[in-house]
Structure 1
Amino acid sequence: MLIFKQSGPMTFTPMGVPGLESQLLWLSIPFTSMLLAIPIGNGAIIFLVVTDFTLHTPMYLLLALLMVADLISSLALVPKVLCLFWFDDRVIGVYACFTQMFFIHGASVVRSALLVAMAFDRFVAVCKLLRYNTILSHSLVGRLGLVALAKGVVLILPMPLLLQRLTFCHMIIPHTYCDHMAVVKMACSNTRPNRMYGLFVILLVVGLDLLLIGLSYVLILQAVVRLNSRDAILKALNTCSAHLFVILITYIPALFSSITHRIGRNIPPHAHIILANLYLLVPSMFNPIIYGIKMKEIRDKVAKCLCR
């Protein structure tokens, strides 16, 4: 068996969707549609928030930052996946692979941190409405964005660094992109530190972030229950509905993907791969749609731009 060491020049070969190689052309149709819709939808929201000063409020600024994270994640994924589906180009350099891994997983961590910040924003909007502008100033929103960015960089940067200590026996990645666990499974040296660190990141990001989001919504629910007016209750719930939808479509596929990588040995490989792609693409594609439908200001701005 040939052993490939990290010290020399090396390339990986993403094989796409194991078991469905002959169907890649058909699979490329929905994937291409999603990969093209993501930059359009996210770019439109970012453009509206940046260019319209009436949308320079904490809620919309955090929304724009979320769209930027989604856009970075999709742009890190798009080029290589489209080359694989359209041109059967399966070769990626090792450092390009690690760079793609860093941006995809880093953007996912930033997205999760921004969802926590948006939960805090909804808590202040419902429970501390009279002090909303005082508490959530533009400077605080900027600091929350920087904390989210720092969290993504600090937590994900060790992943490619730890991979460089490994010896790889296989160069074919059973995936469409350089997923951390997919690359770790190709190593024939001790991968325990990599697996433990990956699990630590998942527990810290998904576990802690979901705990903070859940705490915010418990406090919101307590405040809503104390409201006497039915209209006030419906208005408060409507204020949070878009954020709740985004949380569901972000964390549920991510949790399933993570669990199946570790304990889903009987799940077909192609199911692993498709699920891992969906947990990246579905939130990025549906976030602009959800916020566009649920937020009247964005609907009005989009309608105005289309009329022009």
Structure 2
Amino acid sequence: MSVINKPRRSARQRFWTYLKGHWELYAFLIPGLLVLALFKYAPMSKIVIAFKNYKPRRGIAGSKWVGWANFERIFAEPVVWKVFRNTLEINLMQIAICVPLPMFMAIMMNEINCMPLKKSVQTMVYLPHFFTWVVVYSIFFNLFGGMGMINNVIKAITGSPIQFFTKGGWFRFILVISSIWKGTGWSTIVYLAAISGIDAEIYEAAIIDGASKVKQTRYITIPSLIPTLALMLTVRMGSVISGGFDQVLAFYNPSVYDSADILGTYIYRQGIGQADFSFATAVGLFESVVGLMFVLLSNFFSKKLTGRNVW
């Protein structure tokens, strides 16, 4: 009996065979990859502006090299460090609430047995995610503005309204609760998917042992969601420096610059408002490097504490 040895195909041949059989699925990636390349990778070629005294009329090639001068200016400008501190404080406040809160909301939503009610609740909490920050600002201004509904109630009780949009501390409060309202519902989708992946036999065994709903949640559901929580925290830490630009730009005004101006809005004003492109690019690059460091640290501690990491 003869055995015919078929030639073993190389990894490249296997890849192209697989791609040929699933090309329709990969075709859906093309629009996303094009957007990613156009708006994320292509701008990286302009990073060199951070090391030049860029003048639009001279172009990148004709502008004078200044080396690390723009980065030295970052460390010499007190306003940069004030903005950096504001960015950290605002984003860390939002992360501290907006990362764990969806987990508890998902646990509560999962306990709703009436499907029509459950679908209605899901729709109501998911819907704000699709509103732009300009729309969210309009809603919150009509609620918390000087003549807003909530301020009218406060004025009727205390005799004077609260200036939510012009006082630094109250303005940060508005930023946090608007982030909760807009983003928490959408984030519950991830946790609901994780809950659905928990083995039902574990709950059945707990019920047989007499565990109440509270104990099932405490000893089964929450521990099972910790890896997902760590993943969400790691991803969110990537935006602890760069996040919040759209929201703050839509909400803030000059009266709250001292407590609400963040790196993103500062770069916008320097680059677009004052045409200081080189310094704005240097601050943006500094922002990206610090953000990467936060992601790496978060990923490291996630591996140490939960045994899982993003990569």
Larger radius of gyration: 2
Q: Do they fold alike, i.e. is TM over 0.5? A: no
TM-score, normalisation: structure 2? 0.28
TM-score by length of 1: 0.29
